[in-house]
Amino acid sequence: MIEAKCLVKRYGSYTAVDDASLSLEKGEVVALLGSNGSGKSTLLSMLAMVLKPDSGEVTVDGLKGKQAKEKVAYVPQEIVLFEELTVMENLYAWSSLKGKENTERADYLVNELEMTDFKRKRVDRLSGGQRRRVNLAVALMGKYDYLLLDEPLAGIDAHGGECIEHLLKKEKEKGCSMILTEHNPTILLPLTDRSLRIERGHLTV
């Protein structure tokens, strides 16, 4: 279980997240809804332990720090890829897997996200939607129990969206827990078990 208690994040006089508490059970998929600027990305990045809260804490299966972070895969809105490398080179560069397991996982993700036609291309030569698919794939090149995705369908065309939705359904069937942020509540709700809403940094059920 991911458990967050009383998370607060301020930027100067602006409070981006104000006293947010939540839990994510094993195998559960939660939609985190809210308008642009509501605090979704800030909250998700604290849950992923890439952004330190000003107060409050996050635990994963009762663990903190590096041990907790190793259980979580995080897909930010920002493209975090090596532009000068190919798709496959990026998958291997970001991977925490080794040997046969590494190549099998890369091949699986390339197939599931239908990236075969451009897997040998450099990232700086891809379209925005193709980059989004690669950005998702690199986050999944490892072992994890929890998957946190920040608007994974933003900038994705209909075909790319179908590929991502299909892959996420498979992850759910495997028992992976997920939190997905989205400002359009109609897109990902079919995947989710329940939803939370954040507005002006305040989290509500």
pLDDT tens-digit map of 98-155: 999 999 999 999 999 999 999 999 999 999 999 999 999 999 999 999 999 998 888 8
> What global pTM score does this model have?
0.91
Structure tokens, 45: 């990045």
Residue 36 has a pLDDT of 86
The length of the chain in residues reads 205
Residue 87 has a pLDDT of 98
C-beta of residue 125 within 8 angstroms of C-beta of residue 97:
no
The residue-averaged pLDDT of 27-33 equals: 93
**How crowded is residue 151: how many other Cβ atoms within 10 Å of its Cβ?**
23
Of the two residues 185 and 146, the one the predictor is more confident about is: 146
DSSP the chain: -EEEEEEEEEETTEEEEEEEEEEE-TT-EEEEE--TTSSHHHHHHHHTTSS--SEEEEEETTB-HHHHHTTEEEE-SS----TTSBHHHHHHHH----HHHHHHHHHHHHHHTT-GGGTTSBGGGS-HHHHHHHHHHHHTSS--SEEEEESTTTT--HHHHHHHHHHHHHHHHTT-EEEEEESSHHHHGGG-SEEEEEETTEEE-
Residue 185 has a pLDDT of 64
Position 156 pLDDT exceeds 90: no
Residue 184 has a pLDDT of 67
From residue 177, give the alpha-carbon distance in Å to each of 54, 75, 110, 198: 26, 14, 22, 20
C-beta of residue 43 within 8 angstroms of C-beta of residue 198:
yes
Position 77 pLDDT exceeds 80: yes
Residue 125 to residue 9: CA distance in whole angstroms: 37
DSSP 61-81: TTB-HHHHHTTEEEE-SS---
CATH fold for the domain made of 2-204: Rossmann fold (3.40.50)
